Amino acid sequence: MLYEEVALSFSCRGDALLGIVSVPERPSRRGVLVLVGGAQYRAGSHRQFTLLARCLAQRGIPVMRFDYRGMGDGEGSQRSFEDIADDLRAAIDQFMAGVPGLSEVVLWGLCDAASAALFYAARDARVRGLALLNPWARAEAGLAKTVLKRYYLRRLGEPALWRKVFSGRFDFLASAASLGRHVAAVLPGRRALAGTGTAPPLAERLYAGLYGFGGPVLLILSPDDMTAMEFMEMAGGSPRWRALMAAPRVTRRELAGADHTFSSRVWRDQVADWTGTWLLSW
């Protein structure tokens, strides 16, 4: 399907922002707003967001990608993924105004952008779906537990490790110190100390966001990526998380071998295909 790309300038609390909308010749009523993760701009790593938008537009799905305040071409001060709700609302306003017939939006985010999408979705009735890729769920104890289970145990079965040990090139002291730090981080007393702050833990906020949203969710994970491992460890760590992840509204896909940003063409195309098929399935 033919499409065109249109640049849109809009404002958020007095700061000018820039977005690019890929508009199909016959756009569907459901559009995708791509949220940028990390310190990057609307094109994404290896032009991932640009290529995703064009792929979806060819399937009749309008897509908008934009720069937050303080990022890329966005004016204002740089902010974290926890402080972009106003940016998202302004972008959705502009997206709806710029694409005739658009009535609902799906938020698509990678890493901390996926977490930002979870924080925001239940607050805006126009958001009807979430596509979450390798969501950010970093916590000291969670990271330590993930490393212990998925790195150290796996390393014990690797021939390269034992060749290093028997050749005398293995640094036992450094490895023991590293292991000790990770073990200490998951001890009950250390976890209690880490949880004495005033803000709820990230895992609690992510759960509240997903539970409170209630719409269809596409979860795409790279099983060998540390960020994805942390999320899977968190989501498998409690009965209520497991129940939420098993809900019929959650579609889960895993792409074996893929890195954090799905940097190869094969991985990128698979993500785009999963996204497009899911968007057109409901």
- CA angle (262, 41, 201) in 5-degree steps: 75
Confidence of residue 259 (pLDDT cuts 50, 70, 90): very high
pTM over 0.85: no
| CA–CA–CA angle 82, 40, 71 (5° rounding) | 65
Report the CATH superfamily, name and number, of domain 3-139+202-279.
Answer: Alpha/Beta hydrolase fold, catalytic domain (3.40.50.1820)
Q: At what angle do helices 140-147 and 172-185 cross, to 10 degrees?
A: 130
Residue pLDDT, tens place only, 14-68: 999 999 999 999 999 999 999 998 778 999 999 999 999 999 999 999 999 999 9
How high is the pLDDT of residue 150?
A: 52
Domain chopping of the chain, boundaries: 3-139+202-279, 141-193
The pLDDT of residue 158 is: 64
Q: Is the pLDDT of residue 226 over 80?
A: yes
272, pLDDT greater than 80: yes
